[in-house]
Chain A
């Protein structure tokens, strides 16, 4: 019984997301030039851009699916695979690199048990690399979701990451 309820719940949630997506598409309907804006919003909604979403956006904006796919894979910001609940990004811009960004990345990979670009099995964390977030005065820097952390030490790093459920 309980399981069934949960299933319905998830299904209902997903349907709700697709309803919202329809609204977004409506806003940009037939306007190929607004593709990137629409994709930004769609990714905000789903956390990533699954195939079905790509198809719907393509049809709604009157762009071919291959073009949509091309745009998604061109920009760092978009992802076609599910992301973790928390997006951990280590900055490897030149300033952070000089101040030990690479070390932070290695430490994070070891502690989380994943490589950059991967997501933990429990979907709690995704780990990635970012090239300069403009926090060079605070190098080495790390970004978790929208929070910037500067002067991160390898010893303190895990403590910071663990704060995010």
Chain B
């Protein structure tokens, strides 16, 4: 990078592109040139800065000023005022930047500064330039692993860190790797699950758009630890920008000798192929995903055997979520103890949440494990929109639990939520205000499951259809007296007998919504 006076970061992600980020960028570059400032001011593309729904977002450094809803018409004034005269343009400054997004060191708020591990580079570096990732200590962890650690030491360090899968199942990553390492066979695979289909979740998309090299490095380390030389990223077909950036990043890594044969001139070889999914929620389940990777219908498999012994093409396979793998480089670089410094004793590290629904500033945040729901909603997301009352939050995606006001102060992590019969799942938090009709909400969840049931097993195929039939007639005020009890009964049977988590998990949204809003929902049955 040349020495320049100001850096202007422009956030390029699906949301800002839609708001016209490309046009703003073009105008900005032209305006800077016409003012003769090209040598002094550098315009850099970056991933999401975490805030959504604020139009085109620019960040000017070193001041760290965030501008939102910027249009091409604003550019001449912005360049003249801020970049030429040094006076920040007040009318465009984002007032409601969730604290997480402000990375000003001198800021001392009520809460201590929040850690970023997974999203450390997102919104700061240009994701399409490998040099910027390397400048931010990128690929140092794989170099450290390859030159100073044995695969067993990498696994041991990962185990010690306490890292668990961030896709929802929360299985200890190091143990999974260990199983695959010890499984018989020469050919093994690393599969990254980027088939983010859980409604309300878009964390993996923003990690892929904002820092694709981090995922590549995480997969490299996993490959080295397990003894695999081939990796696959199974990614949602709808994620056009993520696919483009990831493929670009893979190309750059190959050029730099960080992917391919004899990485860093050592004996370790590893390469990554990107595979596009074709839209099936059930493919988020690891064995269904493997079936799909093999070119078949995405039906879940019988377990055991587990993928770590017989996965892709019957070879030992590790399936890890994007966020899980994105944690790995820093664990190896800074050590397990450093990682344990974040989160709680039983659940370490950070968690990326997508917070959406009726909140003032929806978006993406990374906080320590164990942060309370209250802090997430009121400190980071600006509270409930339009000053309304909090009714409940659906935590963990469509198959998650509804949490009422009594759960606001419960620590949010995988271990603790389990004690309250709730799940963290993929980290989606959908907040509902007092005006939301709970029956309608539950109806939307049930319709979703009927649509996504893959039809492989009877309880789920017939159960989801029956649930929809019942909720539809209740919603049309034609419900029968025992309809609500039937919903509960069917969901319980599905939980006990369904083949995969899709059918098993439906009991959670049904039982939790009835726990809090039983009266409201039952009052609709005459």
A136 at the interface (CB under 8 A from B): yes
Q: How many A-B residue pairs have CB under 8 A?
A: 135
> What is the distance, in angstroms, from B83's C-beta to the closest C-beta of chain A?
29
> What is the distance, in angstroms, from B422's C-beta to the closest C-beta of chain A?
16
Q: Which of B1-34 contact A (CB under 8 A)?
A: 14-15, 18
User: Which residues of chain A are near B448, meaning CB under 8 Å?
Assistant: 92-94, 131
Binds A, one of B111-119, B191-199, B412-420: B191-199
Q: Which of B468-494 contact A (CB under 8 A)?
A: none
B441 at the interface (CB under 8 A from A): yes
Cα of A63 to Cα of B296 in the assembled complex, Å: 10
Cα of A51 to Cα of B358 in the assembled complex, Å: 46
A30 at the interface (CB under 8 A from B): no
Residue pair A137, B52 in contact (C-beta under 8 Å): yes
Given contacts A40-B278, A95-B430, whether A137 and B362 have CB atoms under 8 Å apart is yes
Residue pair B441, A132 in contact (C-beta under 8 Å): no
Cα of A139 to Cα of B354 in the assembled complex, Å: 13
Cα of A149 to Cα of B452 in the assembled complex, Å: 24
User: Which residues of chain B are near A33, meaning CB under 8 Å?
Assistant: 293-295, 313
Cα of A146 to Cα of B356 in the assembled complex, Å: 23
Cα of A95 to Cα of B445 in the assembled complex, Å: 10
> What is the distance, in angstroms, from B289's C-beta to the closest C-beta of chain A?
12
Binds B, one of A4-12, A19-27, A74-82, A107-115: A74-82
Q: Scoring A residues 59 to 81 as 1 if CB is less than 8 Å from chain B, else 0, what string do you get? A: 00001000100110011111000
Q: How many residues in A have their beta carbons less than 8 Å from beta carbons of B?
A: 42
**How many residues of B sit at the interface, in one of the four size bands?**
35 or more
User: Which residues of chain B are near A78, meaning CB under 8 Å?
Assistant: 278
Cα of A137 to Cα of B313 in the assembled complex, Å: 38
- Specify which of A75, A97, A134, A151 is in contact with B205 (CB 8 Å cutoff): A134
Residue pair A148, B294 in contact (C-beta under 8 Å): no
A47 at the interface (CB under 8 A from B): no
Most buried by A among B14, B199, B292: B199
Cα of A149 to Cα of B20 in the assembled complex, Å: 11
Residue pair B276, A98 in contact (C-beta under 8 Å): no
B238 at the interface (CB under 8 A from A): yes
Given contacts A40-B278, A76-B279, whether A95 and B199 have CB atoms under 8 Å apart is yes
B200 at the interface (CB under 8 A from A): yes
> What is the distance, in angstroms, from B57's C-beta to the closest C-beta of chain A?
12
Residue pair A139, B356 in contact (C-beta under 8 Å): yes
Q: Which of A83-124 contact B (CB under 8 A)?
A: 92-95, 97-99, 102
- Specify which of B14, B15, B200 is in contact with A93 (CB 8 Å cutoff): B200
Most buried by B among A34, A78, A97, A137: A137
- Specify which of B276, B298, B362 is in contact with A37 (CB 8 Å cutoff): B276
B280 at the interface (CB under 8 A from A): yes
Residue pair B454, A74 in contact (C-beta under 8 Å): yes
Cα of A117 to Cα of B146 in the assembled complex, Å: 52
Q: Which of B274-327 contact A (CB under 8 A)?
A: 275-281, 292-298, 313
Q: Which of B237-276 contact A (CB under 8 A)?
A: 237-240, 275-276
Q: Scoring A residues 120 to 150 as 1 if CB is less than 8 Å from chain B, else 0, what string do you get? A: 0000000000111111111100010011111
Given contacts A131-B448, A146-B240, whether A98 and B279 have CB atoms under 8 Å apart is no
User: Which residues of chain A are near B280, meaning CB under 8 Å?
Assistant: 74-76
> What is the distance, in angstroms, from A163's C-beta to the closest C-beta of chain B?
14
Given contacts A75-B279, A94-B398, whether A134 and B239 have CB atoms under 8 Å apart is yes
> What is the distance, in angstroms, from A89's C-beta to the closest C-beta of chain B?
9
Cα of A66 to Cα of B440 in the assembled complex, Å: 39
Cα of A67 to Cα of B297 in the assembled complex, Å: 8
13 A–B pairs (Cβ distance < 8 Å), ordered by A: A33-B294, A37-B275, A39-B278, A76-B279, A77-B237, A98-B432, A131-B197, A132-B201, A136-B202, A139-B356, A148-B18, A150-B15, A150-B53
A sample of 17 more A-B contacts (CB under 8 A), given A36-B278, A138-B53, A143-B238, is: A32-B295, A33-B293, A36-B276, A40-B237, A71-B295, A74-B298, A76-B278, A76-B280, A92-B448, A95-B199, A95-B357, A133-B238, A134-B202, A135-B15, A136-B199, A137-B52, A148-B14
Which A residues are closer than 8 A to B by beta carbons?
A: 32-37, 39-40, 63, 67, 70-71, 74-78, 92-95, 97-99, 102, 130-139, 143, 146-151
